[in-house]
């Protein structure tokens, strides 16, 4: 399998986990849109280091781990973002 096949799978699994955690009330998408610049950074890293076979998969896994961890911390009020969204 090519690296891009794994990347697509990891992105779909990560998105599915995010939606599942939201449905269970564990995380909220209230602050999730603050993380959109990280997607650009990950895409740039993957374009620069495209010859390494598992860099794309590892960067997306790291992204989802960070997003889930921060979302849980925000939901439990352990971490409060500086700029809250009105919704």
**Distance in angstroms (rounded) separating the CA atoms of residues 17 and 31:** 17
Q: Is 77 left (phi over 0), alpha (psi -120 to 50) or beta?
A: left
**Per-residue pLDDT tens over the stretch 27-75:** 877 767 777 787 888 888 888 887 776 788 888 888 889 888 888 887 7
Q: How far is CA 42 from the centre of its chain?
A: 10
31, exposed or middle or buried, with CB in 10 Å at 0-12, 13-18, 19+? Answer: buried
**Distance in angstroms (rounded) separating the CA atoms of residues 56 and 52:** 8
For the chain, the domains span 3-75
Output the pTM of the full model.
0.68
Tokens of 44: 């740039």
Q: Give pLDDT, residue 42.
A: 82
Q: Give pLDDT, residue 1.
A: 46
């Amino acid at each position: 399998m090519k690296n891009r096949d794994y990347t697509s799978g990891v992105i779909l699994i990560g998105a599915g986990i995010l939606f599942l955690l939201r449905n269970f009330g564990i995380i909220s998408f209230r602050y999730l849109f603050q993380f959109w610049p990280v997607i650009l950074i990950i895409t740039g890293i993957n374009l620069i280091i495209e010859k390494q076979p598992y860099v794309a998969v590892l960067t997306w896994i790291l992204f989802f781990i960070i997003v889930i961890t921060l979302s849980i911390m925000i939901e439990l009020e352990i971490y409060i973002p500086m700029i809250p969204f009105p919704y």
